[in-house]
Each structure stands twice: as structure tokens, then as C-alpha cells.
């Protein structure tokens, strides 16, 4: 073998498709984000090569660029024929070296399945701390009613004044100040800059004039149905059940068939509240969020 690493290129597209056809029974998401990942100006989309053959991929993404930068490591793929030979470790160490060189002060996070023991060992051996175990819940949208009027869109000009309502909220306190993106597959700190982005896109809502709710329109993982993902629900513990229940009518108002939310598996209060609001586990698996700082 002649293993090397280089930035991925547009002409890797056919080889990428062939690789991803071997991953997750051909349901890998990388073909859908290929062009976007190639175009990102920060970080690196890495191709793992054996000579001239593409055998792996990995993506280091900049999530937030401030005094404390936030980076996300994702899309680690190794051709099944090459597994068990330490190439995944080499790719992980390559991405870590990139982060140390590009990252500056800040954090690097990643998400891995609870049964992916190889990545968990790599994280623990390279200084990562396990931050949380997260699980997915889903509920059907409810027919529009007067409850759907309990939400109104947040204007961008309001964002700064409303950000003060975030800190006392249950999710902010119990989820390490993080919010979920991309249907729960990436995580970042909820900041004023992030709130502004959601408001500008029309994805920030205010519930009963007091609780921020940040949403993403997505396509459901299993059903392919239009889904409203709750990136953040900014209510106190007492208000959570009511707000979550009424997000189901908001989803219908926005033309979505389902609502999804990704939460800490260790938050027992939230699990009970989700059940009371009509949500159920989407599937049995869970994922770990890992974090390292420099």
C-alpha cells in the first residue's frame, strides 16, 4: 500500500460514488453534500489515496469563526476492503494535525455512533472528552388550529434583545449550550450570530412571546417526508411540554408532515416531556458527541 492524503477534487466524483455505494447499504449522504463540501473555503475535505485509488474521505469544517473557533469533524469513510489496517487512525490523526494548524483557539467536535468502538477509542486516545449521548425523537404534525398562532416569526432586528431568553432555557442548560443542525447530525454553540442566521432565513420563531424556537426544514431520514427539525427550543422546564406539543401544529402550518428533535439521552425530564407531547424515539440507536479544546 502507498497511503497518502490530499484535498478532494471535483474529478474524484466517480470514485467517491463507488466508495459511498459500499457504505450504509448505499445510503451514504456524502454524494448529496459533495459539491458544497468541495466549495467550502475553510478547513479541508480530505481524500485518502492508495496510490491513485481513492479509498477514504474525511471532512474538517469550520462551524463558527470568532475569537473561539468551532470546528466539526465529519464524513470519515474508509473503503471496507481497507479496514482493520490502521488507515482510519491515520486519517483521524491527519485531521487532528490539520485542526491544530488551522484551528486557533477553540474547540473541535464530532459525532459517532454508540456502537462505533473504533472511533470512540480514537477519540479517547487523542484527548477528546465525551460530552453527551444524543437520541432522536419524532412526532406527526397536527392539523393547524389556533395553537399554531402561538408562534410568530422573529424579525432579525429582534434577535439581540431576545437572546437573553436563551440562557434560562432547559435545553441550553442541559445540552452544554449546544444546538443541533442538519437534522441532529452536527452540533454547535448557540450564539447571537447563529440566532441572527436563523432569523434572517425565517427559521426563528417566538412561542407566546417569550420562548425562542429555532427550526430547520429537512427531509426525513427514513420516510423521505418533509420534516421540521427543532434545532433549539428555548423554554423553561415548566413550559417545555406545551411548546413541544404546539410545534406539531407549527409544522403543519409550514407544510411539514413530521417534527423531529435530537436531545441528550441523559435528560430524563426531557424524555418524559417529549412523551407527554406526543413524541417517540425515531429509532433505537444513539450517538456520542465528543469535544477537544486548544
| Packing angle of the helix pair 87-102, 117-125 (nearest 10 deg) | 40
Residue 162 confidence (pLDDT):
93
Q: What pTM, to 2 d.p., does this model score?
A: 0.93
Asked whether residue 222 carries a pLDDT value surpassing 80, the answer given is no
String of b and e for 268-290 (b: at least 16 CB within 10 Å)? eebbebbeebbbeebeeebbbbb
Q: Which residues pair with 253 in a beta bridge?
A: none
Asked whether residue 2 carries a pLDDT value surpassing 90, the answer given is yes
SS3 79: coil
**What is the tens place of the pLDDT at every residue in 92-138?**
999 999 999 997 789 999 999 999 999 999 999 999 999 999 999 99
Asked whether residue 146 carries a pLDDT value surpassing 80, the answer given is no
Residue 153 confidence (pLDDT):
96
Average per-residue pLDDT in the chain?
94
**What is the tens place of the pLDDT at every residue in 192-201?**
999 999 999 9
Q: What is the DSSP string of 118-163?
A: HHHHHHHHTT-EEEEEEEEEEEE-----GGGGGEEEPPGGGHHHHG
pLDDT band of 220, cuts 50, 70, 90: confident
Q: Report, as an integer, the average pLDDT of 149-165.
A: 93
CA distance 73 to 71: 7
**What is the tens place of the pLDDT at every residue in 40-68?**
999 999 999 999 999 999 999 999 988 88
Answer for the pair 77, 56: CB distance below 8 angstroms, yes or no: yes
Asked whether residue 158 carries a pLDDT value surpassing 60, the answer given is yes
Q: Which domains does the chain possess? A: 3-104 (3.40.630.30), 134-285 (3.40.630.30)
CA distance 116 to 64: 27
Answer for the pair 144, 252: CB distance below 8 angstroms, yes or no: yes
Residue 258 confidence (pLDDT):
97
Contacts for 143 with CB less than 8 Å, ≥ 6 apart? 249, 252
pLDDT band of 223, cuts 50, 70, 90: low
Residue 221 confidence (pLDDT):
67
> What is the percent of the chain with per-residue pLDDT over 70, rounded to a whole number?
98
Cα→Cα distances 275→110, 157, 165, 240, 265, Å: 28, 35, 25, 11, 13
What residue spans of the chain are helical by DSSP H? 13-20, 30-39, 87-102, 117-125, 159-162, 170-174, 192-200, 240-253, 268-276
**What is the tens place of the pLDDT at every residue in 225-273?**
999 999 999 998 999 999 999 999 999 999 999 999 999 999 999 999 9
Amino acid at each position: 500500500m502507498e497511503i497518502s492524503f490530499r484535498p478532494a477534487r471535483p474529478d474524484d466524483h466517480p470514485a467517491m460514488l463507488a466508495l459511498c455505494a459500499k457504505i450504509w447499504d448505499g445510503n451514504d449522504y456524502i454524494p448529496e453534500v459533495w459539491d458544497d463540501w468541495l466549495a467550502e473555503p475553510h478547513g479541508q475535505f480530505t481524500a485518502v489515496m492508495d496510490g491513485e485509488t481513492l479509498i477514504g474521505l474525511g471532512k474538517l469544517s469550520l462551524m463558527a469563526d470568532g475569537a473561539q473557533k468551532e470546528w466539526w469533524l465529519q464524513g470519515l469513510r474508509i473503503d471496507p476492503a481497507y479496514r482493520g489496517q490502521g488507515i482510519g487512525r491515520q486519517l483521524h490523526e491527519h485531521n487532528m494535525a490539520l485542526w491544530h494548524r488551522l484551528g486557533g483557539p477553540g474547540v473541535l467536535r464530532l459525532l459517532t455512533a454508540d456502537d462505533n468502538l473504533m472511533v470512540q477509542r480514537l477519540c479517547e486516545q487523542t484527548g477528546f472528552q465525551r460530552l453527551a449521548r444524543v437520541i432522536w425523537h419524532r412526532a406527526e404534525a397536527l392539523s393547524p388550529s389556533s395553537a399554531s398562532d402561538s408562534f410568530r416569526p422573529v424579525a432579525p432586528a429582534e434577535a439581540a434583545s431576545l437572546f437573553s431568553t436563551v440562557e434560562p432555557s432547559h435545553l441550553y442548560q442541559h445540552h452544554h449550550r449546544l444546538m443541533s443542525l442538519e437534522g441532529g447530525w452536527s452540533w454547535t454553540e448557540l450564539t447571537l450570530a447563529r440566532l441572527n442566521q436563523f432569523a434572517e432565513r425565517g427559521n426563528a420563531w417566538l412561542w407566546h412571546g417569550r420562548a425562542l424556537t429555532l427550526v430547520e426544514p429537512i427531509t426525513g431520514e427514513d420516510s423521505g417526508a418533509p420534516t421540521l427539525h427543532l434545532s433549539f427550543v428555548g423554554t423553561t422546564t415548566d413550559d417545555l411540554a406545551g411548546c413541544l406539543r404546539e410545534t406539531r401544529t407549527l409544522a403543519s402550518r409550514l407544510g411539514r408532515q413530521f417534527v423531529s428533535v435530537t436531545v441528550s439521552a441523559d435528560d430524563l425530564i426531557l424524555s418524559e416531556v417529549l412523551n407527554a407531547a406526543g413524541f417517540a424515539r425515531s429509532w433505537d440507536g444513539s450517538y456520542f458527541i465528543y469535544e477537544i479544546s486548544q
